[in-house]
């Protein structure tokens, strides 16, 4: 826990320092003047903060996953037959998906039924599966899950979602700063020289939260669409039967394991599953398992 928190803290400090240097060199941090806000400069400032931060995180995603999740990378020297099967299966799927380079393959110790793909590009990626998934699914079902993750890589989903998240972050910052400045300016007395910094700061923080929640609805909608595309891609690689079987097995696990459901919510961004239909679906990164199964079955009807 402390290792993860420390790494998270150091990475974010490094990102903030890097972005601060970039905006200072470009002069974008001088968007506020005595005449008010320079809107083009503010948009440039926000885009740098939104996009650069997101892409730095993307570039470090594989390394961070290795450091924080205790991934055991599989190599050709392994004597574990299950590990060798995983590596060979990912290699075959990667070739079928025309990836420029096969992903690294890893196993990590966890009772949850989970798998994820990460990495900055189609040629620099990683696929990891949990021991819980390997213990609860047979090879045919695991192959469907692996095909789903390889499809994410082939579709360039990590880059796409990073770009979308970065743009949304930029607009959240842009509008929060504008509205906060307007509110503080309206509240100042005629004797004041400018808007109250404290009022502007507090309003800006509240708006970050509110606009961020609205922005997450857009980001999560795109995320759910990419899950459907990855399911379709997996069906092309291994057949829809294996993907449907994997989703059905996962549906049974989620339905019968309340502890898994609670842990699932906290790790939704990496999951191969999703929440049931409800208002909370707007904030879910994954469609419900039933929707995914129905989509696959209707496509082969």
Q: pLDDT tens-digit profile of 91-137?
A: 999 999 999 999 999 999 999 999 999 999 999 999 999 999 999 99
pLDDT of residue 192: 56
Whether residue 227 has pLDDT greater than 70: yes
Q: pLDDT tens-digit profile of 158-180?
A: 999 999 999 999 999 999 999 99
pLDDT of residue 91: 95
| 245-251: average pLDDT | 90
The ranges assigned to domains in the chain are 71-301
pLDDT of residue 268: 39
pLDDT of residue 301: 56
| 264-275: average pLDDT | 46
Which of 125, 112, 130 lies closest to 71 in space, CA to CA?
A: 130
Query: In whole angstroms, what separates CA 267 from the centre of its chain?
Result: 10
Q: Between residues 258 and 212, which one has the greater pLDDT?
A: 212
How sure is the predictor about 145, in pLDDT bands with cuts at 50, 70 and 90? very high
The secondary element (H helix, E strand) that includes residue 32 is strand 32-33
- Sole residue written with tokens 């075959």: 92
| 9-36: average pLDDT | 78
Active-site residue 149, yes or no? yes
Q: What ranges in the chain are assigned the alpha helix state H?
A: 2-26, 39-47, 53-59, 61-69, 81-96, 131-136, 139-154, 157-187, 197-238, 240-256, 258-266, 289-299
Q: Is 95 exposed, middle or buried (0-12, 13-18, 19+ CB in 10 A)?
A: exposed
CATH, domain range 71-301 = 3.30.2010.10
Q: pLDDT tens-digit profile of 166-217?
A: 999 999 999 999 999 888 888 765 555 555 677 788 899 999 999 999 999 9
Distance CA 148, CA 150 (A): 6
Q: Which of 28-32, 54-58, 255-259, 267-271 has the highest mean pLDDT?
A: 54-58
Q: Which residues contact 242 (CB under 8 A, 6 or more apart)?
A: 140, 141, 143, 144, 147, 234
- Residues in a beta bridge with 107: 72, 129
Whether residue 82 has pLDDT greater than 80: yes
pLDDT of residue 31: 86
Whether residue 260 has pLDDT greater than 50: no
Whether residue 255 has pLDDT greater than 60: yes
How sure is the predictor about 256, in pLDDT bands with cuts at 50, 70 and 90? low
Q: Which residues contact 76 (CB under 8 A, 6 or more apart)?
A: 87
| 246-251: average pLDDT | 90
Q: Whole-prediction pTM value?
A: 0.84
pLDDT of residue 158: 93
Question: Catalytic one among 149, 258, 259, 262?
Answer: 149
Q: Are 80 and 16 in contact (CB under 8 A)?
A: no
Q: Which residues contact 282 (CB under 8 A, 6 or more apart)?
A: 217, 220, 221
How sure is the predictor about 5, in pLDDT bands with cuts at 50, 70 and 90? low
Taking CB atoms within 8 Å and a gap of at least 24, the contacts of 82-85 are 82/134, 83/107, 85/139
Whether residue 299 has pLDDT greater than 90: no
């Amino acid at each position: 826990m402390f290792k993860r928190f420390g790494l998270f803290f150091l990475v974010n400090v490094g990102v903030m320092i890097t972005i601060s240097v970039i905006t200072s060199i470009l002069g974008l941090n001088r968007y506020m003047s005595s005449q008010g806000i320079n809107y083009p400069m503010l948009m440039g400032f926000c885009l740098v903060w939104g996009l650069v931060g997101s892409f730095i995180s993307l570039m470090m995603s594989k390394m961070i996953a290795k450091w924080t999740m205790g991934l055991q990378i599989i190599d050709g020297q392994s004597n574990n037959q299950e590990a060798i099967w995983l590596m060979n299966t990912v290699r075959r799927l990667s070739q079928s998906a025309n990836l420029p380079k096969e992903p690294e393959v890893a196993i990590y110790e966890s009772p949850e039924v989970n798998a994820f793909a990460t990495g900055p590009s189609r040629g620099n990626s990683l696929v990891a599966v949990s021991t819980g998934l390997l213990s609860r699914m047979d090879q045919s079902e695991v192959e469907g899950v692996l095909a789903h993750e390889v499809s994410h890589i082939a579709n360039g989903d990590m880059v796409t979602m990073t770009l979308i998240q970065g743009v949304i972050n930029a607009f959240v910052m842009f509008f929060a700063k504008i509205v906060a400045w307007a509110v503080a300016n309206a509240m100042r007395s005629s004797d004041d020289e400018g808007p109250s910094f404290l009022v502007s700061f507090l309003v800006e923080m509240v708006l970050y939260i509110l606009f961020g929640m609205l922005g997450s609805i857009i980001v999560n909608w795109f995320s759910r669409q990419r899950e459907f595309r990855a399911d379709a891609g997996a069906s092309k690689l291994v057949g829809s039967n294996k993907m449907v079987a994997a989703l059905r097995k996962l549906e049974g696990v989620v339905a019968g394991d309340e502890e898994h459901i609670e842990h699932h919510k906290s790790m939704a961004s990496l999951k191969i599953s999703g929440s049931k239909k409800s208002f909370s679906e707007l904030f879910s990164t994954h469609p419900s398992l039933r929707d995914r199964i129905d989509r696959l079955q209707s496509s082969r009807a």
